[in-house]
Amino acid sequence: MIRVLQVLGSTTLGGAESRVMDLYRHMDKDRIQFDFLVTRGHTGHFDGEIESLGGHVYTVSPYRIYNHKQYVTEVSDFFKEHSDYKAVHGHMTSTASIYLPIAKKAGIPLTIAHARSAGVDSGIKGRLTNMLRKKLPEKCDKMIACSDLAAESVFGKHNYVDGNVKIMPNAIETKDYAINPTERDRIRQEYGVEDRFVIGHTGRFHEAKNHRFLIDVFSTYLKYRKDAVLMLVGDGPLRSEIESYVKEIDRENSAKGLPGISDKVIFTGNQTPVHPYYQAFDSLLFPSIYEGMPGTVIEAQASGLKCLVSDSVTRLCKATELVEFESLDNSKVKWAEKLNSIYGQLPVDSLWDERVKDNQYIQKMMAESDYDVNNQVNYYTALYENGFDENQ
């Protein structure tokens, strides 16, 4: 049995973390075991499960420009003590050009840089990330990306075009998202939306997710569909700001003699497992400014949901015909009109019946694709054990 180190920012509930855990659950633990190196000291959402699966979670200080020497020392000391890993798989590409060469120098045979985002934060943090990534292709043995846009953003367009980057879409256990009327009824009853048209969104409250615009589109869409509600699943640093924005719209509407929207916007917080919430949704609205490969859109399709997605998101997320794209250059009115053209005034029960009818076909299609985690296990097993793809 060999051990592989996964490098992440944390083991909290997030996109990259969830995808790595999906893979971890399906690996043959008699052959490959995962450990985790993170930069956030608090207990993470997955820590208990990682320990139960036989893994360990280690911590180093988060990288800041002013503590460069301290960070290098901590990472160097870690790999001096833990030099028996067969591979180091770095999902934190912002600092991978620092920690992967240190791992290589310590004798780790295989270093992997994995791009999971097609953008960076605004301001100085984003500029620093781009600077640190500049020479990353020269400082790792293997480059993987969850999409074409993520590959170009992190490793450069020439590396993607030349075939130097392996594209592996974020994958899920697709059968978990199969039609489940019991879960649908349970969630809808819990939130009192049994007979409402539920527009859903799952994601961290972060600038990339574009929650303000999402709220604007929903508020505009209400003129087409009075029975609509918006269910926002997730948490994050901008949640309170978005909650305040909803109240701001209420005040503006009140001044115009119009009804507010607060009673139609539901903040659920983080939820695990999340798949029952896709059952409760009737549609997915996803106007992200940038993404690597949005697991949310893959999960929604496996659940049989029609999705309206921004055109800044990779086209590779269109695993089925359930996805339609709309430009972020278009107004909230255009987005609301597009939603209306997709769903019209079909009763909620009719929309559900259509999903049930088509779900067996959708599930089969998804289960046979690279979007199903079971189909990625062989690739990663060969990569970790032998340093190459079984198809190479």
Which domains, from first to last, does the chain contain?
2-168+376-386 (3.40.50.2000), 174-367 (3.40.50.2000)
14, 149, 150, 283, 302 from 116: Cα distances, Å? 12, 10, 6, 25, 20
| Percent of the chain clearing pLDDT 90 (strictly above) | 83
Distance CA 11, CA 57 (A): 8
106, 223, 229 from 192: Cα distances, Å? 57, 21, 11
Task: Please give the helix or strand (H or E) that residue 285 lies within, else none.
Answer: strand 283-286
Distance CA 2, CA 27 (A): 12
Q: How many CB atoms lie within 10 A of CB 82?
A: 18
C-alpha count within 13 angstroms, C-beta hemisphere, residue 94: 19
**What pLDDT is attached to residue 122?**
67
**What pLDDT is attached to residue 292?**
83
Distance CA 304, CA 352 (A): 9
CA-based R_g, the chain, Å: 22
Distance CA 305, CA 324 (A): 11
**Each residue's pLDDT tens digit, 190-234:** 999 999 999 999 999 999 999 999 999 999 999 999 999 999 999
Q: Which residues contact 97 (CB under 8 A, 6 or more apart)?
A: 132, 133, 134, 135, 136, 139
**Each residue's pLDDT tens digit, 299-336:** 999 999 999 999 999 999 999 999 999 999 999 999 99
**Each residue's pLDDT tens digit, 142-169:** 999 999 999 999 999 999 999 999 999 9
CA 82, 103, 130, 63 torsion: positive or negative? positive
Mean pLDDT across the chain, nearest whole number?
Answer: 93
CA 253, 259, 260, 261 torsion: positive or negative? negative
Mean pLDDT of 66-78: 96
**What pLDDT is attached to residue 133?**
83
Mean pLDDT of 265-294: 95
Distance CA 318, CA 365 (A): 12
Whether the per-residue pLDDT at 180 is higher than 50: the answer is yes
**What pLDDT is attached to residue 389?**
55
**What pLDDT is attached to residue 392?**
45
Distance CA 126, CA 94 (A): 9
**Shortest CA distance to 220 belongs to which of 186, 261, 165?**
261
**Shortest CA distance to 167 belongs to which of 313, 7, 370, 17?**
370
Whether the per-residue pLDDT at 348 is higher than 50: the answer is yes
